[in-house]
Amino acid sequence: MDKPSLQDRLFSEDSCLNRMLQNVVREVSAYSEGQLVHMRRLAEIGVALSAEKNMGRLLEMIVSEARAITRADAGTLYTVDCGRGLLNFRILQNDTMKSRLGGSAGSAIDLPPIPLRKDGQPNCGNVSSYAALTGEIVNIPDVYEAPQFDFTGPREYDQTTGYRSRSMLVIPMRNHENDVIGVLQLLNALNAETGQVTIFSEETVDLVASLASQAAVALTNAQLIQNLTDLLHAFIKSIAAAIDEKSPFTGGHIRRVTDLTLSMAREINETREGPFAGINLTEDEMDELAIAAWMHDVGKIVTPDHVVDKRHKLETIFDRASLVETRFDLIEQTVRNGYLSEKVRRMERGEWDGAAALRLDRAMREDLERLREEREFVIGCNVPRETMGTEEIERLKTIGCRTFFLDGRERRYLTDDEIHCLSVTRGSLTPEERRIIEHHALMTRRILEKLPFPKRLARVPEFAGGHHEMLDGSGYPLGLTAERLPLQTRIMAIADIFEALTAKDRPYKQPMELSQAIRILRRMKEDGRIDADLFDFFVSRGLHVKYAAEEPRSGWDDEEWNGSRNRAGGEG
């Protein structure tokens, strides 16, 4: 037969004592279980706080969990602004008043911050600033009976709304360096059984203090991550601004491409029909795309300015058209000198008469007239255009190969390099210069691949470096085809092309009207170079029109824009 347990032996001798002991055991057991529940819950909260990276949601979670532990009807969270010496309202929750302010989901808080100092002295009259300054926990049974603090604000709120502020618990939030970085303020603890307002028990104070400690660490980490993210974004935008400033003709290009790219991505996220109905880019993916768009031209940091800004075909460090004009001036003088020399020779030989003079003067005028026409034609070839015909190129070469004599040496009208540059059939860049420009896309990829992006931003180099790739493999720098081009790269490609077509600040071309830009993009779609579904989505959603409305000076004057809007809308 089994021996009776100690508990059985204790409970077997006196019935009255038995009942008392049983009650003690139940109380201890209930207390222990309650403590274990609280400990498990605090552990769960700690894990959840550590995992949350969104600052707004984190602050909401801190207040909500503290209120749940204490059964508080309302809660407020402040963060310390050390630089300005203020306590900023971040979260306001009140169940009775059904209000949620601040955080990621609530309405904005328009209350003024609380100063930590007044008239040069610590502001200890306000309970929240007192807790922030002293680091002490304040537990008030009834705020109407706490003369040491100024509760004018809560009293006025109560009079206005009919609410009754009573018990209050104010806990400073200390980080790992023991600095107070925030204040958690809970209002009106509710009795679990009656629902009536009661005081905050010492037990819950300890639990909330523990929560506040965990929350401060999580908040510090979140702030650190946010600060690093803000620093990264600011650095990226500063680099983008510097690249735009590098060329006086492309200022704002990167920002406009980024705006267009993100506008398309947001529209795709909102659509519930068509080929993009199942696509929803996450917050991290949107951030990744934004950084890629901001950095898509970082490779231009190595592109020579005179190539990026090349307004005319003969331009290098300076426009060599002035040298060509000076040379034609010199050729004209050699022509005149040649005829003058001929006149002198004939006069010396006694062959000079009126008829000979007329013939020489007429021949000189004809030669000079031809020379002026050739000069105007050559200088005209220096201006970039959409197309340059074969006949014009042949005439240019013929003129360039003509020769004149200077100081006994035979010289050509144009050098081989000048003929090569002036023969560019479209735009201002030679094939060699175009390769230099195109190299920026490869450099963008190489530069970004050297940066240790975190996992959530790992594809930034791929997206940014591929913005000039085409679905048919005709793009650059790698000649990738459709199966290797993700949606983000395809979006950026259309944004970059559209911005380039309509931009007003390009030295080598005139800005296009919306209708013309859309026609070019449509041809690229039909040729299989850009994503057909994306182009149709871009036009059907009127994103080109929205862009024009927000960037009215990008590529058209107001009058031109009004007409373009109507025509483009009709095509879309």
Label each residue of 226-295 as H, E or C: HHHHHHHHHHHHHHHHHHHHHCCCCCCHHHHHHHHHHHHHHHHHHCCCHHHCCCCCCHHHHHHHHHHHHC
Pull the structure tokens for residue 568: 């483009």
d(CA 244, CA 264): 22
d(CA 200, CA 474): 71
Ramachandran angles phi, psi of 92, nearest 5°: -135, 120
The position carrying tokens 């984190």 is: 58
pLDDT for 508: 55
Name which of 484, 487, 488 is nearest 472 in CA terms.
484
Ramachandran angles phi, psi of 313, nearest 5°: -65, -35
Q: What does each of the 572 residues of the chain score in pLDDT, given as a tens digit?
A: 555 555 555 555 566 766 766 666 666 665 555 544 555 554 555 555 555 566 778 788 888 888 988 899 999 999 899 889 999 999 899 999 999 998 876 678 888 999 999 988 999 999 999 999 999 999 999 999 988 999 988 899 899 899 999 999 999 988 878 889 889 999 999 998 898 999 998 888 888 887 787 778 777 777 777 788 888 888 888 888 887 777 665 668 888 999 999 999 999 999 999 999 989 999 999 999 999 999 999 888 888 877 877 888 888 888 899 999 999 999 999 999 988 888 888 888 877 777 878 888 899 999 999 999 999 999 999 988 878 889 999 999 999 999 999 888 999 999 999 999 999 988 888 889 888 888 889 999 999 999 999 899 999 999 999 999 999 999 999 999 999 999 999 999 999 999 988 887 665 566 678 888 999 999 999 999 999 999 999 999 999 888 888 775 444 343 433 333 333 333 33
pLDDT for 359: 87
DSSP-derived 3-state class of residue 30: helix
d(CA 310, CA 384): 10
The position carrying tokens 């104010």 is: 170
d(CA 247, CA 434): 17
Pairing of strands 180-190, 197-198: antiparallel
Residue 363: partners with Cβ closer than 8 Å, 6 or more residues away: 339
DSSP-derived 3-state class of residue 376: helix
Name which of 416, 427, 413 is nearest 381 in CA terms.
427
Which letter, b or e, does each residue of 1-28 get, where b requires 16 or more Cβ atoms within 10 Å of its Cβ? Answer: eeeeeeeeeebeeeeeeeeeeeeeeeee
Pull the structure tokens for residue 97: 């008043």
pLDDT for 495: 95
Residue 183: strand pairing partners: 78, 172
**Is the preceding omega at residue 507 within 30 degrees of 0, hence cis?**
no
pLDDT for 539: 94
Single-letter amino acid, residue 347: M
Name which of 566, 480, 503, 497 is nearest 538 in CA terms.
497
First to last CA, the chain: 93
Please say whether the beta carbons of 528 and 549 come within 8 A. no
Q: What is the per-residue DSSP string for 125-192?
A: SSHHHHHHHH---EEES-GGG-TTS--HHHHHHHHHH------EEEEEEE-TTS-EEEEEEEEEEE-T
Measured in residues, the chain has a length of 572
Angle, helix 202-246 to helix 283-294, in steps of 10 degrees: 30
d(CA 220, CA 307): 48
Q: What is the DSSP letter of 455?
A: G
Classify domain 52-225 by CATH number: 3.30.450.40
d(CA 65, CA 305): 58
pLDDT for 511: 67
Name which of 61, 62, 114 is nearest 88 in CA terms.
114
Residue 14: strand pairing partners: none
d(CA 50, CA 396): 72
DSSP-derived 3-state class of residue 89: strand
This model's pTM is above 0.85? no
Rg (CA), the chain: 39
pLDDT for 40: 56
Please say whether the beta carbons of 477 and 465 come within 8 A. yes
Task: Identify the CATH class of 247-304+437-571.
Answer: mainly alpha
Please say whether the beta carbons of 499 and 257 come within 8 A. yes
Please say whether the beta carbons of 169 and 186 come within 8 A. yes
The position carrying tokens 């560019």 is: 424
**Residue 387 Cα distances to 89, 148, 298, 381, 393, angstroms:** 63, 84, 30, 11, 11
